[in-house]
């Protein structure tokens, strides 16, 4: 079954066409890399998939259900999670609180006014487990804005994972990380359950090609190539773009 099907997706900003008639489908459990030079429309595509922007035309369906008209939180509820290119945490809250909010999103009683946060022991337990699992217990009580950039990227990823998504959109998770941190985050992504479908935007080709089953190449808002690693490497137009631009 296809996890995500995109048909003729387009988006205009004023006169600018940021995404033009893009169609592809992604199988459940697939790991798909999306590459393309800056301004190719990668983040626009993510923003349209997650519901930040409405499609100017075209359709998106998630596990067979049309989600084109759904809002951001409705899509998230259906199992679509994402991270952000620019780290998007709750800066003044502690790492644990960040996690609690994410865990609570899917838990019953999120809207409760009468319960107390500190009585949500099950959530606290899960937050602790998650942080221990990723070796981040040392920063559990620190405000998110005070931890290192590399740690922020990891917390960003854990927040997205905490809602137990079926499809995960990762927007340049490795950007700005040190070599050691790249290894670490790559490990994190690789260790995610195999049934989670992952779309990944990444500039670090060596890492990204290794993670992905298939690759899609965007250029100036258009999908110009799709296929596995060797196919893409051999694709004449792709190497032309990359040799020309980077």
User: Rule CB under 8 A: which residues touch other proteins?
Assistant: 14, 50-52, 71-73, 76-77, 81-82, 84, 88-93, 97, 100-102, 104-106, 109-118, 120, 141, 159-160, 163
Q: Please, what is the minimum distance in Å from the beta carbon of residue 221 to other proteins?
A: 18
Give CA–CA dist 124/122, Å, rounded: 5
Nearer to other proteins by Cβ, of 161 and 232: the residue is 161
172-187 b/e (C-beta count within 10 Å ≥ 16 → b):
bbbbebeeebbebbbe
CB 60 within 8 A of CB 66: yes
Residues in contact with 91: Cβ distance below 8 Å, sequence separation at least 6, in sequence order: 143, 144, 145
Residue 235 CB, nearest distance to other proteins (Å)?
Answer: 32
Which residue, 35 or 144, is less far from other proteins as judged by CB? 144
- Report the distance separating Cα 211 and Cα 88, nearest Å: 23
Question: What is the nearest approach in angstroms of other proteins to the Cβ of residue 164?
Answer: 11
C-beta of 61 vs 85, nearer to other proteins: 85
For residue 234, give both structure tokens: 């051999």
Beta carbon of residue 96, minimum distance to other proteins (angstroms, whole number): 11
Nearer to other proteins, 170 or 223 (CB): 170
Buried b (16+ CB within 10 A) or exposed e, 52-90: ebebeebebbbbeeebbebeeeebbeebbbbbbbebebb
Residue 116: both structure tokens together: 């107390």
Judged by beta carbon, residue 158 or residue 223, the one nearer other proteins is 158
- State the minimum distance, in angstroms, from the CB of residue 242 to other proteins: 26
């Amino acid at each position: 079954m296809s996890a995500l099907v995109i048909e003729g997706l387009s988006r205009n900003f004023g006169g600018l066409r940021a995404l033009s008639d893009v169609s592809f489908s992604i199988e459940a459990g697939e790991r798909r890399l999306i590459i393309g030079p800056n301004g190719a429309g990668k983040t626009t595509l993510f923003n349209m998939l997650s519901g930040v922007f409405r499609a100017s035309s075209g359709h998106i369906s998630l596990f067979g259900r049309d989600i084109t008209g759904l809002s951001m939180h409705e899509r998230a509820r259906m199992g679509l999670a994402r991270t952000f290119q620019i780290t998007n945490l709750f800066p003044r809250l502690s790492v644990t609180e960040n996690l609690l909010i994410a865990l609570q999103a899917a838990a019953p009683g999120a809207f409760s006014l009468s319960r107390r946060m500190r009585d949500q022991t099950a959530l606290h337990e899960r937050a602790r487990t998650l942080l221990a699992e990723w070796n981040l217990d040392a920063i559990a009580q620190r405000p998110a804005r005070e931890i290192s950039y590399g740690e922020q990227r990891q917390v960003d990823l854990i927040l997205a994972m905490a809602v137990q998504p079926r499809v995960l959109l990762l927007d340049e998770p490795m950007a700005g990380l040190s070599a050691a941190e790249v290894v670490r985050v790559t490990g994190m992504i690789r260790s995610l359950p195999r049934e989670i479908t992952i779309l990944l935007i990444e500039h670090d080709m060596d890492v990204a090609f290794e993670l992905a089953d298939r690759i899609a190449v965007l250029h100036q808002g258009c999908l110009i190539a799709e296929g596995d690693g060797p196919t893409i490497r051999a694709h004449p137009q792709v190497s032309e773009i990359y040799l020309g631009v980077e």
